[in-house]
Structure 1
Amino acid sequence: MEVTFLGTGGAVPTIQRNTSSILLRREGERFLFDVGEGTQRQMMRFETGFGVSAIFLTHMHADHVLGLPGLLQTMEFNDRTDPLSIYVPAGTRGDIEELLDATATDPSYPLTIRNICPGDTALEHDEYTIQTFETDHRTRSIGYALVERDRKGRFDRERAEELGVPVGPKFRQLHQGTPVELDDGTVIDPEQVVGPPRPGRRVVYTGDTRPTASTESVATNADLLIHDAMFTHNRVERAQQTRHSTVREAAKLAVEADVERLALTHISSRYATDIEPLAESATDIFGSNAFFPDNGDSISIQYDDVRSKG
């Protein structure tokens, strides 16, 4: 799994930071979260490709959606035929339809816009879900979490052989959870040779928001939390007025949720050339696993047991 930060700035783009957009790759699928102005150009610049499986919008503010018409039109020009679903906060489907209508965006490939409520499952897959959660902004808004299902425990081949299980199909049966009977009538249960389930990965993206209990809940033990961190804490009143978060607030939430890594985004243009005031607050509270991604930065999300071995 890999996350590419296409846009990490606030409402006003700067030379250093484009408006909001995050691309997540998982096993050949690409999910795009928010599509700020210029997103398709960022995708070209950082060579992510346009083969997006689904698009998820956190809210309808311009710095999160203005890149959508151009991207959809470019997909059309590139002869896309695969269906595409766009997930939006409940009650805003009409706003997106009006945006696309105003820009004469009417692609020939199947396009579906889906209203989704906080707490719903946007996508259901055998190996993962994409869930929604409540956020607190100045308009209808939601956050998204990609949550992988637990994986099978590790198969202990050495122990299986000690118990007399012959190499071959019975190994597979045991690993899939089915007891096997040996030639002498002995029954071997999966629990004897298969370890406990191993947790999947969890990536959480808030979009624009104040810190919320729902974010903390869904982000508990997350491998990566991508959180709004627009201001330093001396501007907390401004953050409260505009329904954004300060770096300190986001870092404290990440500590409470016990996340592995914290990516702080939606950085105000006032810090365009110097994020040091922001960085000091983040590392003081959360430590070295808090970071401010630049446009184009990509990070790999490894399984917990792989990380532990490393």
Structure 2
Amino acid sequence: MTLQATFLGTSGAVPTTERNPSSVFVRRGGDAFLFDAGEATQRQMMRYGTGFDVSDVFVTHAHGDHVFGLPGLVQTWDFNDREDPLTIHVPRGVRDQIEALVFAVGGDVGFPVRVSEVSAGETVLDRPEYEVRAFDTAHRTTSVGYALVEDDRKGRFDREKAEELGVPVGPKFSKLHDGTAVELEDGTVVRPEQVVGDPRPGRKLVYTGDTRPHDPVVAAADGADLLIHDATFTDDAADRAEDTGHSTAGEAAEIAARADARALALTHVSSRYAGDARELREDAEAADFDGEVFVAHDGMTYDVPFPDAD
């Protein structure tokens, strides 16, 4: 089952010729989501071929560089005769602002659009096999982050052991793997725990939006397979990061280390690093974080591996 993040916009508040404002497209199997929607997000989706089958948009906060893409995106969907409903999840208290923005040019569109307010600690989306949870972040306004968390998977089925116990190849294998005991022709009962290993963890993808280093982010990102964290500035601009409610690359790496994340994507890159963002990666690598670290760029796609993948 694919879990893939495509970075549509990786700039800070000011776009550059190489970086669009914030947006991340996430596909899990047949489901597709957007996390934030900076201006021209719909063009980025076309440019990088993500598809437009998004059911939910998760907004971290109501600053323009994270939401100005919503009106154009909704209008594009309308022009394309979309009929499927769309839900836009926003932090509690900003629904009126987002509704006014989405329909700023007036009129209804030809598909249902619902703006739903969420609070930190809430399960925002509950689907078979995974859920999306909101968590608290620390910015200059009401803000949340989002964690897509998969359920545990079945343990590995030991076919060799099953055959040793006399289970015939066929439907009884599936029943055992699904947790149901089976009876053999001689009356012997084989139980699932005899041939199925321990449950295996699913994957976790965490997106912070804009934030200072924050303990709730550490908790939400515990064991994350991919943490996408605000890294607006290099470490020598730590005072600027604090004043503006952002993080440095080194601070993002410290959060990733505390959370025992497996991979860290640095994003929301200030325009001052438009020509060369290598120092951000260097600052993160200098921190006490042993996982994979990279500076995300527009159009980059990252396949999130299972924790037990080779």
- Tell me if both proteins adopt one fold, taking TM over 0.5 as the criterion: yes
The letter for the 2-side match of 1:110 is: P
- Deviation by residue 1:239-286 (Cα, 9 ceiling, x = unmatched): 111111111110011011111110000011111102122121112223
- 2:102 corresponds in structure 1 to 100
Partner SS for 1:133: strand
Within-5 A mapping of 1:63-212: 63-104=65-106, 106-212=108-214
Deviation at 1:165, TM superposition (A): 1.2
1:228 aligns with 2:221: no
1:13–1:19: 8 Å Cα contact kept in structure 2?
yes
* Alpha carbons 1:72, 1:105 under 8 Å: kept: no
Instruction: Please state whether the residue corresponding to 2:117 is helix, strand or coil.
Output: strand
Question: In the alignment, what sits opposite 2:281?
Answer: 279
Q: Distance in 2 between matches of 1:276 and 1:173?
A: 52
Q: CA deviation at 1:287?
A: 5.0
Corresponding residue to 1:289 among 269, 292, 302: 292
Tell me if structure 1 keeps the 8 A contact 2:257–2:290: no
Q: What is the aligned partner in structure 1 of residue 217 from structure 2?
A: 215
CA distance in 2, matches of 1:256, 1:15: 34
Q: What is the distance in 2 between the residues matched to 1:159 and 1:191? A: 11
Structure 1 residues 277 and 44, CA gap change in structure 2 (3 angstroms): same
- Identity in percent: 57
Residue equivalent to 2:269: 267
| 8 Å Cα contact 2:9/2:24 also seen in 1 | yes
- State which drifts further: 119-128 or 166-175: 166-175
Change (3 A) 1:110 1:172: same
Query: Structure 1 stretch 99-108 or stretch 157-166: which is displaced more?
Result: 99-108
Residue 304 of structure 1 is matched in structure 2 by 307
Aligned counterparts of 1:86 and 1:229: Cα–Cα separation in 2: 25
CA contact 2:71–2:104 (8 Å) conserved in 1: no
What residue is the counterpart of 2:5 in the other structure? 3
Return the alpha-carbon distance in structure 2 between the equivalents of residues 227 and 211 of structure 1. 10
Q: What is the alpha-carbon distance in structure 2 between the residues aligned to residue 237 and residue 123 of structure 1?
A: 36
Which amino acid counterpart does residue 291 of structure 1 have in structure 2? F
Q: In structure 2, what is the Cα distance between the partners aligned to 1:197 and 1:249?
A: 34
CA contact (8 A) 1:35 1:66 kept: yes
Across the aligned residues of Structure 1 and Structure 2, the Cα RMSD in angstroms comes to 1.2
Q: Which amino acid aligns with 1:198?
A: R
1:128-180 Cα offsets, whole Å, 9 max, x none, are: 00011000011110000100001111111110010111222221111111112
Does structure 2 retain, via aligned residues, the 8 Å contact 1:30–1:51? yes
Distance 1:105 1:46, change over 3 A: farther
* Count of residue pairs the alignment pairs up: 307
Moved more, 175-184 or 252-261: 175-184
CA distance in 2, matches of 1:214, 1:103: 38
Tell me the amino acid that sits aligned with residue 303 of structure 1.
F
Compute the displacement of 1:106 (Å).
2.6
Give the Cα separation in 2 of the matches to 1:51 and 1:169: 36
User: What is the SS of the residue equivalent to 1:118?
Assistant: coil
Report the alpha carbon displacement of residue 211 of structure 1 after superposing the two structures with TM.
1.2
Q: Give distance in 1, aligned partners of 2:141 and 2:107.
A: 24
Give the AA of the match of 1:90.
R
Whether the 8 Å contact between 2:87 and 2:113 is mirrored in structure 1 is: yes
1:295 partner letter: D
Q: TM-score if structure 2 supplies the norm length?
A: 0.96
Deviations 1:83-133 (A, max 9, x none): 111100011111111112322263120111100000101110111000110
Q: Alpha-carbon deviations, 1:30-80, whole Å to 9, x = none? A: 100000011111111111122112111000000000010000000000000
| Structure 2 letter corresponding to 1:276 | R
What's the secondary structure of 2:60's corresponding residue? Answer: coil
User: Per the alignment, in what secondary structure is the counterpart of residue 132 of structure 2?
Assistant: strand
User: 1:46 — aligned with what?
Assistant: 48
Equivalent residue of 1:124, what SS?
Answer: strand
The separation in 2 between residues aligned to 1:106 and 1:150, in whole angstroms, is 41
